[in-house]
Amino acid sequence: MKVLVTGGAGYIGSHAVKHLDESGHDVIAVDNLSLGHRAAVAEHIPFYQTDIRNVAEMYEILKDHEIECVMHFAAFSQVGESVGDPLKYYDNNTYGSTCLLQAMNEAGVKKLVFSSTCATYGEPEEVPIAETCKQNPINPYGWSKLFVERMLKDYAAANKDFAYSALRYFNVAGSAADGKIGEDHHPETHIIPVILQAALGQRDAITIFGKDYPTPDGTCIRDYIHVEDLVDAHAVVMGALQPGDARIYNLGIGNGLSVKQIVDAAKKATQIDFQVNDGDRRAGDPPMLYANPSKIKEELGWEAKYRDVEKIIETAWRWFRANPDGYNDR
């Protein structure tokens, strides 16, 4: 299929480009940054440094490449930042998606796989979280994505030949198993890369944000899914899309792990006894988020291959050790 990936120079987008290319799709990448994971996009893949809010330019690219499906990853994704600067999130994530849909509408592109998030559930009434769980975000990031889910629902109702999927990610982690590409955020805030920076000696220690949560060991529980499993699910969902489809799936493995368990797994995976400090809670962190991933398994037969977080961390560690300065192109 002819697929356009937005955010193709980002962490997840670059892994999607690699996976689609390796599985025989005709893929092109768009990103408003030329830096970062741009290095990860192979030479033979067309890359456009364009903002998705530029409807005219996006229209031209979609038309020129006769794109059949868009995978839409381009977004900001830091919860804390969204609380302090909500307009940044509504502009890029929500308005940006409106613009993308306008360009797709004009170019006659009928399929979209949208990167949504478990942050749309807010503080869930029960775990594991099923897709039917009430969506009630507790931060602008979650709202910026939930508005797009709603927009897609309304757009699909008015355009019966349109098909879309909203994939609600839990915690995406790890790097390509072949070690060719990895994860590189500036500044880094995600738990696994932060831990690996401490293991590499780039930080003195890691800080556990809160040990007084209502969880078995007092630290927050999350559901970690390997990035290659995540992008594989996108390809499977894309292949299943038929006109009129609205496919909503959680992407997690259904196994909740505490921050302490992640720290212990990382010590084993790296064989390094880095220093761990106790800190205060981080604002906006729900105590427990993990998926009920059964819907996508029942409907499409898909499930994550990586079940062991130590193995997930090993893939991230391999890339970090080989690339201690990240892509080093900022």
As measured in angstroms, the least distance from the Cβ of 238 to ligand UPG is 22
Contacts of 166 (CB under 8 A, 6+ apart): 114, 116, 148, 149, 152, 246, 247, 248, 249
Q: Which residue do the tokens 């969204």 mark?
A: 82
Report in angstroms how near the CB of residue 48 gets to ligand UPG at its nearest. 25
Q: What residues act catalytically? A: 141
- 215 Cβ partners below 8 Å, 6+ apart? 221, 258, 287, 288
Separation of alpha carbons 4 and 221, rounded Å: 34
Q: In the complex, which residue's CB is closest to ligand UPG?
A: 220
Closest contact distance (angstroms) between CB of 287 and ligand UPG is: 8
Distance of CA 54 to the CA centre of its chain: 23
Which is closer to ligand UPG, CB of 104 or CB of 220?
220
Q: For residues 129 and 113, what is the distance between their CA atoms, to the nearest angstrom?
A: 21
Between residues 67 and 113, which has the closer beta carbon with respect to ligand UPG?
113
* Residue 235 CA: distances (Å) to CA of 18, 22, 171: 12, 11, 19
- Cβ proximity to ligand UPG: between 8 and 256 the closer is 256
Are 289 and 127 in contact by the 8 Å Cβ rule? The answer is yes
Nearest to 310 by CA among 224, 233, 217: 224
Give the footprint of ligand UPG on this chain (CB under 6 A): 77, 79, 117-119, 141, 171, 189-191, 194, 206-209, 220, 222, 259, 282, 285
Closer residue to ligand UPG (CB): 120 or 165: 120
Q: Pick between residue 110 and residue 211 the one whose CB is nearest to ligand UPG.
A: 211
Count of C-beta atoms within a 10 Å radius of residue 203: 16
- Min CB(241)–ligand UPG separation in Å: 25
Are 71 and 14 in contact, with CB atoms under 8 Å apart? no
Minimum CB separation of residue 2 from ligand UPG in Å reads 29
